[in-house]
Each structure stands twice: as C-alpha cells, then as structure tokens.
Chain A
C-alpha cells in the first residue's frame, strides 16, 4: 500500500539535475512532497491536486499524473541545501489515513 519511490538514493554535484519518482498501487487524488534534513523533522514542500498539474518551489518543481498514479519531483541546478531525504505523501481517498512513500536520499556534493 505504501507508495514506492525511486531511486532510493542519489548523489549529485552542485548544479546537476535530479528526478525523484513516486508511484502508487492505489489511486492518488493528491500528492504532497516533503524534505527531511539530517536530524530534523520532515518539512512540507508542495502539494499537487490535479492530474498533470505542475508546481514550483524555487528550482524545485513537481508533476502529477493521476492516470498513471505517479508523481515526480524535479530538482534543477541542485544546491548543497537540497541534500536530505525526500518523501511523497498522500491521503487515501475518503479516509483520514495519510501515508508516505519509501523515501529518496539525496546528497549534493560541492
């Protein structure tokens, strides 16, 4: 039931791009993305509510394909501050049950 994220881990140099995918076996009606820095709590980045919708947060954007039950997070021209673990999260439709994906560890090197 837990959404699966890929890749599990990625290492980048500053300025490189990355894509993180979130795939669900259940229908997705919304997707939230969070970032967790080492030793800290996860922090909300953005929400996507409609199929095909794209949103942006500085140089981080995301897309949501409702039909494919997938969302992708795009990190452009990565900075050292982007390092952390990224999670997708979603509320199961018609319930209060909120679940997260398996997580992707991202490390940006100077």
Chain B
C-alpha cells in the first residue's frame, strides 16, 4: 500500500521562528511536491523536486526553501515564519522519470500550520 507521511498533523509556531515540515514517501517516486491549500485558492505549488538534490520553484516560492538529500524525503523550510504562512501544507509524490502525463499524485495527510 502506497504511503506518504508528514511529520505533524498540526503545528503552532511564533512569527520569526524557523519551521521544518518533513515528508516521507515509501514508493520510490522520483518526483515530490509541496503545496499549500487555502480556501478559494485551491492547491498552489510552492516547490517541487524531480530527483535527489534537484529542486525547482513552483508558483509561490517566496518565504520558503526545500531540501531533498534522500529520494524518499522532501523537507519544506520556512526560514522566518510569518502570519500569512498560516495554511494547510500538503506533500505529494509521483512516479515520473520521463515527464509522462499519465501518472497521478499521492498525497500525505497534510500539516495544518498556524503562525501566531
């Protein structure tokens, strides 16, 4: 059974703190993604990675960075958390060596982050 796990379901941080969100997949997928979900805005892509140590900016990368040192793990880092980063964060993975359009994404359960 395929599985994507995220380190926390709920997280409360203070403004200015450095925040780490961890995501692990056990499917040997090449691609991994971080999205944030806000009402009325759908799922917006923050960063993605298509291989170990490879990363690309998504549509809203400002204020975030990522790390992928191992194939199964993809971390999202908020260098200095701000209140406008309060959101639901979803990690996803996808098998894809050749930019094939066929393969769907598998999601983790999400992390609800509140920045006070």
Contact = CB atoms under 8 A, between A and B. Distances in A.
Contacts of A94: 99
A42 B48 CA distance: 18
Contacts, number: 79
- Chain A, interface size: which category? 20 to 34
Given A2-B42, A41-B110, A101-B42, A47 B31 contact: no
> DSSP class of A's interface residues: helix, strand, loop or mixed?
loop
Contacts of A30: 101-102
B99 A41 contact: no
A44 B4 CA distance: 14
B35 A96 contact: no
A68 to B, nearest CB: 18
B101 A49 contact: yes
Interface of A: 1-2, 5, 8, 29-30, 32, 34, 40-44, 47, 49, 87, 89-91, 93-103
17 contacts: A2-B42, A8-B40, A30-B101, A30-B102, A34-B105, A41-B4, A41-B107, A49-B101, A87-B42, A91-B99, A91-B101, A93-B101, A96-B48, A98-B94, A100-B35, A100-B43, A100-B45
Q: Which 10 pairs of residues, A with B, have the shortest CB-CB distance? A: A30-B101, A41-B107, A100-B43, A102-B42, A103-B42, A44-B104, A96-B50, A91-B101, A29-B101, A42-B107
